[in-house]
Amino acid sequence: MKTLLIVWHSHTGGAQQMARAAAEGATAEAIVRVVLKHAPEAAAEDVLNADGLIWVTPENLAAMSGLMKDFFDRTYYALLDRINGKPYAAMICAGSDGCNALRQIERIATGLRLKAVADGLIVNTHAQTTEAILAPKQIGDEDLRRCAEIGLALAAGLAAGIF
């Protein structure tokens, strides 16, 4: 059975909800094994043991979260030239834009020679005040459905040997 690794970090719960929705989508048909790993606990070995990858992070100050960046800092060189061609998708929980956080993940994925199999998903919570930014997030059903669809598509592609 193929393994899909979902590495996530979340400060206010939004990105965590997105990661869980992707996992639920991926396991809907019981065609792959899904491993959800909080970024501080994820290691290069987790990535090496996975057949497909989903990265999920909030946008913080126009960048991916520090703990997601820490994950990439800790694993990048151990993975370089060892995971070429693995399929991946990226999801960003943003307060306004999210493009730079997505761009950062795409650049890292390019360096690791990964294969994007879905367009990056940015869920915009429109949090613009200090209170709204720091408040727990509730991701809407439509956005969670989109996360689940990406999880399912990646799982189905892995199971069918498409990627």
Closest CA to 104 of 41, 143, 59: 59
According to the model, what pLDDT value does residue 71 have?
Answer: 98
Give domain limits for the chain.
Answer: 2-160
Report pTM. Answer: 0.97
Alpha helices by DSSP H, listed for 9-59, are: 14-27, 44-48
**Rounded distance between C-alpha atoms, residue 53 and residue 113, angstroms:** 13
Specify the CATH superfamily of domain 2-160: Flavodoxin domain (3.40.50.360)
pLDDT at 81: 97
* Regions of the chain short of the pLDDT cut 50: none
